[in-house]
């Protein structure tokens, strides 16, 4: 995959960094810095829409993210000037959106997220507004682009 990327991946200490040429200069960024740029832009969009400052955020991540990737995402939020209240799986976020207005007894739902390059599934239990992730799995090399 790396040979098709419009940037270079370089080792810097114990972590990979992204190196790009921008306006005649070579710039090097950590993955957290790149993610923070996206979060800054999203915060700006939200602030323009809401007409007020956004300080807190809940950030979604793919279901396959491990603990260090989740922590790196949280660090990205801090770099972006946000107080990250919670990191949640994308399928869990979809389930929350689905279940916000649902009343009644306990339900078990399967949420699948077939993205452009990934496929994630989560099994959740919803009971009186409480969401519990029962299981989650995914494939980082199976997605919509694989069906084209």
Mean pLDDT by 10 residues, the chain (148 residues): 88 91 93 95 96 95 88 96 92 77 78 78 82 82 70
Q: Check: CATH 3.30.420.40 for 2-147?
A: yes
Report pLDDT for 90: 82
Report pLDDT for 77: 96
Report pLDDT for 110: 84
Report pLDDT for 148: 61
Would strands 25-29 and 56-61 be described as parallel, antiparallel, or unpaired?
unpaired
Report pLDDT for 146: 67
Report pLDDT for 93: 84
Verdict on whether the full-model pTM lies above 0.85? no
């Amino acid at each position: 995959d790396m040979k098709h990327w419009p940037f270079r991946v370089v080792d810097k200490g114990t972590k990979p960094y992204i190196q790009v040429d921008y306006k005649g200069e070579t710039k090097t960024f950590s993955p957290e810095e790149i993610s923070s740029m996206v979060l800054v832009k999203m915060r700006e969009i939200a602030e323009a829409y809401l007409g007020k400052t956004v300080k807190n955020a809940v950030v979604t991540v793919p279901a396959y993210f491990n603990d260090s990737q989740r922590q790196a995402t949280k660090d990205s939020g801090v770099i972006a000037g946000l107080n990250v209240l919670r990191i949640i799986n994308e399928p869990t976020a979809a389930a929350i959106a689905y279940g916000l207005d649902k009343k009644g007894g306990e339900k078990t739902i399967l949420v699948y997220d077939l993205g452009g390059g990934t496929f994630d599934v989560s099994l959740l239990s919803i009971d009186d507004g409480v969401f519990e992730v029962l299981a989650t799995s995914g494939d980082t090399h199976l997605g919509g682009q694989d069906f084209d």
